[in-house]
Amino acid sequence: LLYERHGEPAAVVQLKDLEVPKLGDCDVHVKMLAAPINPADINMIQGTYPLLSPLPAVGGNEGVGEVLEAGRRVTALKPGDWVIPADAGLGTWRTWGVFPEKMLLKVPSDISVLCAATLSVNPCTAFRVLADFESLVPGDSVIQNAANSGVGQAVIQIARASGIKTINVVRDRPDLPKLVERLMALGADHVITEEMLRKPEMKDIFKSIPRPRLALNCVGGKSTTEMLRHLQPKGTMVTYGGMAKQPVMVPVSAFIFRDVRLRGFWMTQWRKDHVQDQESVAAMMDSLCQLIRRGQLTAPACTEVPLQDYRVALEASMKPFVSSKQILLL
């Protein structure tokens, strides 16, 4: 799926037949199996993301493929191995590709295709924001907005496996009871709407669990200001997205009297910073794959779409209140 200019995805993305390039000594020929459509993919096509691929570009930053053939100097990969992108910008919305070995990470093929296809962005983000900003211990709590997003669903499950309680904020919607039920089934301790954040009943939640030391924000605007009120003194709020396209507003009193910390996180930057530290990358992937094998981390709710129906998938991925991730089957 190629785009030659930036613009609205349904208008600029086209399905094109291209020749598979020749295999170099350090290259790997990969048959792509499945690739999701993430918000960052849409923003890259629109030209609004901080990281843009040179045009013409193939869409997609995440997915899983199977190695068909490896070049003479390739040491870590062999035919039959499953691989995912080591970094953003690979262009995963394609049936075949030839990539340098260093642009790929091997993943176990005993996890489901959907888990592998959605592993490198959202679960990794969830893992890092839970691990890198506060030293959380079992019994601690975390509050997050956009709890039904891919990252939100992974945060609920990873926290649950570590004995950490989650307070999950979602927007009010027509099918709210169904969404609450789904997040509770994943291991959420509390699911509330943004309106509830402002209500005195919030105190009842903190009778059974401590106030959170960590808040995870991917919305911005009013939702964030309200969430911040419930953070413990000296707690940290990490912003990793801005879906409301509104700034993060913080009362001065939160800084002075409660000494809260505001941090940012971008998975792409973390990968750049850890290029020389493959042990950290391997340890994270290993932990996530173990959680998947134990049934403690599942793929987000997915809708599988054949590649030729890509327009339907692109449009569905941009609709509000859709909790299901569109996955292109390649």
CA 164/CA 128 separation, integer angstroms = 15
CA 136/CA 134 separation, integer angstroms = 6
CA 239/CA 220 separation, integer angstroms = 8
Q: How many CB atoms lie within 10 A of CB 55?
A: 12
Tell whether omega for the bond before 251 is within 30 degrees of 0, i.e. cis. Answer: no
CA 251/CA 14 separation, integer angstroms = 46
Query: Which residue out of 3, 49, 240, 310 is catalytically annotated?
Result: 49
Q: Is 3 a catalytic residue?
A: no
Q: Strand (E) positions, the chain?
A: 2-3, 13-14, 27-36, 57-58, 64-70, 82-85, 96-100, 104-107, 141-144, 165-170, 190-193, 214-217, 236-239, 261-264, 302-306, 325-329
Q: At what angle do helices 150-161 and 122-131 cross, to 10 degrees?
A: 50
Contact 88, 18 (CB under 8 A): no
Q: Which two tokens stand for residue 245?
A: 């396209």
User: Three-state DSSP class for 182?
Assistant: helix
CA 20/CA 133 separation, integer angstroms = 43
- Annotated catalytic residues are 49
